[in-house]
Structure 1
Amino acid sequence: MGRRWRDGRGRLIVRAGSGGGQAAATVPLEIATSYRARTKGLLGRDAVDGALLLSPASGVHTFGMRIPIDVAYLDRRLTVIAVRTMRPGRLGLPRPRARHVLEAEAGAMAGWGLRPGARVEVEADPGR
């Protein structure tokens, strides 16, 4: 199930429950796949519109960030392994099975129903 995305925009679709049922939420998404885009991430931002997908990635840090963030670790099938809230100035340990990481403003993921076992889909904008 290998995926090749490019830096750009898209949509994150959160599926209700662990079975991948109906869409619980659709969220604007930034996709960061290049080294430069993944390294910059959310640094220097005061807010996040939707979510940021870092791919490939298995861990993150919040050094230099201005806001607390929610972090979801995804496996290769885009199933959520874990969700954590991180304050600025923290180092998140890498997750061994994680292949992708989602970042959003603190508290946002709970509102989307994003929890361990949930499945997500990524739709990249076709213009990119």
Structure 2
Amino acid sequence: MKLINMTTDKVLVQDLRQAHSFWSRFKGLMFQRSMPSDSALHIYPCRSIHTFFMNFDIDVIYLNEENKVVGIETNLVPGKIGWRYKEARSVVELPSGKIYDISTGDTLAFVE
């Protein structure tokens, strides 16, 4: 699945994995050594995240029900708790340094 910024018409990620079940959300990216540079993880439902038991920094995009960006965090290091956005309904976790050309208010699309 691809992640596309519909506001700028740019492909953000070529390989988007989904974590929509309890166990896949619970595990997330914990204990992985790294994340391929053109991949990301979409966690739904989710309003906030943590990086405990992670081995690398991540960037995080917080989305509302309409997949509009309501928050962005960059370079979140292991062992931290991310912000909690009241409007957020899901998050996309990407390798650190992958968020660029994304702004609050942009609309993202998940495309097969």
Once the two structures are TM-superposed, the CA of residue 26 in structure 1 deviates from its matched residue by: 4.4
Aligned equivalent of 1:122: 110
Aligned equivalent of 1:6: none
Structure 2 length normalisation: TM-score? 0.89
Contact persistence 2:57–2:96 (CA under 8 A):
yes
Once the two structures are TM-superposed, the CA of residue 122 in structure 1 deviates from its matched residue by: 0.8
Residue of structure 1 aligned with 2:86, choices 96, 99, 116: 96
Once the two structures are TM-superposed, the CA of residue 73 in structure 1 deviates from its matched residue by: 0.5
Highest Rg: 1 or 2? 1
RMSD: 1.3
The answer to whether residue 68 in structure 2 is matched with residue 79 in structure 1 is yes
Task: Give 5+ residue unaligned stretches, structure 1.
Answer: 1-9
What are the Cα deviations for residues 57-79 of structure 1, in whole angstroms up to 9, with x where unaligned?
Answer: 00000011100100110011101
What are the Cα deviations for residues 42-94 of structure 1, in whole angstroms up to 9, with x where unaligned?
Answer: 11122223110000100000011100100110011101111102110001232
| Distance across 2 between alignment mates of 1:115 and 1:87 | 21
Letter in 2 for 1:62: T
Give aligned pairs, total.
108
What are the Cα deviations for residues 11-39 of structure 1, in whole angstroms up to 9, with x where unaligned?
Answer: 11122xxxx35x21241100110010011
Correspondence 1:12-91 to 2 at 5 A = 12-15=3-6, 20=7, 23-27=9-13, 28-49=15-36, 50-85=39-74, 86-91=76-81
What are the Cα deviations for residues 88-114 of structure 1, in whole angstroms up to 9, with x where unaligned?
Answer: 00012321000010000111012xx22
Once the two structures are TM-superposed, the CA of residue 116 in structure 1 deviates from its matched residue by: 1.1
Distance 1:84 1:26, change over 3 A: closer
Structure 1 length normalisation: TM-score? 0.78
Distance 1:47 1:114, change over 3 A: farther
